[in-house]
Amino acid sequence: MSSEAEKSGTPRSKQSEDELKKLEEDYQKLLEDSQNLINERSYLETEIRTLKKRATRLDDEVRLLKTPPLIIGHLQDVLDERTAIVRSSNGTVFQVALNQRLEPKKLKPGTRVALNQDTLAVIEVLHEAWDPMVSGAEMVEKPDITYNSVAGLDEQITTVREAIELPLLEPELFEKVGIIPPKGILLVGPPGCGKTLLAKAVANQTEATFIRMVGSELAQKYIGEGGRMVRELFSLAKEKSPSIIFLDEIDAIGAKRLDGSTSGDREVQRTLMQLLAELDGFDALENVKIIAATNRPDILDDALLRPGRFDRIVTIPLPDPKGRKAMLALHTSKMSTSRLQMKTLVEKTEGFSGAEIKATCVEAGMIAIRDKRNKISQTDMMEAVERIMVKKSTSGITSSPDALYG
Ligand code: ATP
C-alpha cells in the first residue's frame, strides 16, 4: 500500500515541484517586468518634465514674438508725475501718460524712451547707450595712421603733439609745473589738407580711441536730438578713454549766435550750448581731448575759442612747394615708378590739396595700368596732374581722393 502511495505520490510531488518552479519563474519574470515598468515610468516622467520645460520655453518665445512693438521716442518735457510730452520717432509731439514704476530722476528732457503703440504711454526709459546708427559717429579703437603718413606738416605736428599728446601721455608734467593743458585744439584749413589724418595720427601715438563726429550730423532738426548726441558723444569718449573726439565741420553747429529766427536755428544753438557745457564740464587732465576742424574759422562763435575750450588754433594750409614735395614723395613711395622729376611735379601741382596730390598719384597709376605697364612714368604723372586739374575746375575743391573717382 505504502509502496503504492509512494508510487503514486512521487509523480504528484514531482508535479507540484515543477509547478512551484514554474510559479517561481513566473514570479521572477513578473518582478523583472515590474522593475522594467518602474524604470520605464521614471524615464517617461523625466521625458515629460523635459517636454514641459520645452513647452514653457516655446510658450514664452511665442508670447515674446506676439508682443506688439514699442515705439521709440524722446521725452520733451515732464508735466507732472503722471504726464509728459514726448516726441515720437516720426516727429509728432504728444501729451502722454507715464508708467508709474519709472524712476522720476531718469525722466529728463531728451531721454530716449519706449512708448506703447496704441496709447504712446511711456513704458520704459532706454539707457543712453551710444548708438552709432543714431549718432552718426565713426569710432576706431586705435587708428593705424602714424605721423609718418602725414607729409609736409612738421610744424603743425609739433604743436599738436605738445597740446594733445603730451597731456595724454604725461599729465604729471603739467601737474608738477602747475599749468592746465588745453582741452582741445582747432584745426583750421581748406578741405583735404590732412586735418583728419593728423587727428588720427595723434590717436595712434597716444593709443587712444578716435571718435569722429561731423558737425552737420549734429545739426539735427528735432528738438533735443543734437544736444542728446553731444551728450552721448562725450559720455562715449569718457567710457572709451583715453580718447580723442574729432569734431569735423564744427562750423555747422558753432557758427556765431545770431537772433535765431527759425526753430532750426534755435535748435542748432541749443546743440552748441550743450557742446560748450560738455567742454566746460570735464577736467583738462581727463583722458579725453577734442580736436575740432573747420574751413570757416571766420564764422565761429567766440564762445568756442575762449580759454578752457578750443585754446589753440593750428592752421593747416594748402601745402607749399616743400609740403607738396613731401606729399608726392610719400604717396609715390609705395608705387612702382621710373625716375620722377619732382621739381616739375611740385611746380605743376601748385594749389593742390593733399587729397588732390594723392588723387594725382592714384590717377597716374591707373593710366599705367590701362596701358598694361607696371611702372609709372613722369608722363603718366603729368597727364594725371592735367586730369585732376580739369576735375578740380569742374567740381570745385576736392577733399578726398575718392571724390575724384566718384
Ligand atoms: P576735410 O576738411 O574735408 O575733412 P581733411 O583736411 O580732414 O579734409 P584728410 O581727410 O586728412 O583731409 O585728407 C584726405 C586724404 O588726403 C588723406 O586720406 C590723404 O590720403 C591725403 N592727404 C591730405 N593731406 C595729407 C598730408 N598732409 N599728407 C599726406 N596725405 C595727405
| Same domain membership, residue 222 and residue 161 | yes
Q: Which atom of ligand 1 is nearest to the CA of 316?
A: 6
Q: What is the pLDDT at residue 2?
A: 46
How remote is the CA of residue 316 from the centroid of ligand 1, in Å? 10
pTM assigned to the model = 0.68
| Same domain membership, residue 153 and residue 20 | no
| Same domain membership, residue 200 and residue 245 | yes
Site to probe by mutation for ligand 1, drawn from 400, 402, 404 as the one with most ligand atoms within 8 Å of Cβ, is: 400
- Considering its fold, how many domains does the chain have in total? 4
Q: Which residues line ligand 1 (CB under 6 A)?
A: 150-153, 191-197, 248, 293, 295, 327, 330, 354-355, 358, 399-401
What integer is the mean pLDDT of 204-231? 82
Pick the residue with more confidence: 404 or 374?
374
How remote is the CA of residue 336 from the centroid of ligand 1, in Å? 22
Q: What is the CATH number of the domain that holds 401?
A: 1.10.8.60
| Same domain membership, residue 184 and residue 300 | yes
Which of these three, 66, 81, 108, is where a domain ends? 66
CB 150 within 8 A of CB 171: no
Q: What is the pLDDT at residue 314?
A: 94
Tell me the percentage of the chain whose pLDDT exceeds 70: 88
| Same domain membership, residue 346 and residue 299 | no
| Same domain membership, residue 238 and residue 309 | yes
Which of these three, 315, 330, 358, is where a domain ends? 315
| Same domain membership, residue 178 and residue 117 | no
What integer is the mean pLDDT of 271-298? 85
> Does the pLDDT value for residue 135 go beyond 90?
no
| Same domain membership, residue 339 and residue 388 | yes
Q: What is the CATH number of the domain that holds 170?
A: 3.40.50.300
Euclidean distance between CA atoms 183 and 247, whole angstroms: 13
How far is CA 173 from each of CA 51, 183, 369, rounded to the nearest angstrom? 67, 15, 53
Quickly state the pLDDT bin for 350 (edges 50, 70, 90): very high
| Same domain membership, residue 298 and residue 182 | yes
Tell me the percentage of the chain whose pLDDT exceeds 90: 40
Q: For 152-204, how does the pLDDT look when each residue is reduced to its tens digit (9 = 90+)?
A: 999 999 999 998 999 888 888 888 888 888 888 999 999 999 999 999 999 99
Q: Which atom of ligand 1 is nearest to the CA of 293?
A: 2
Q: Which atom of ligand 1 is nearest to the CA of 152?
A: 27
Site to probe by mutation for ligand 1, drawn from 147, 197, 200, 400 as the one with most ligand atoms within 8 Å of Cβ, is: 197
CB 322 within 8 A of CB 152: yes
| Same domain membership, residue 348 and residue 255 | no
| Same domain membership, residue 24 and residue 164 | no
Which of these three, 258, 281, 315, is where a domain ends? 315
Find the domain containing 296 and state its range: 134-315
| Same domain membership, residue 88 and residue 50 | no
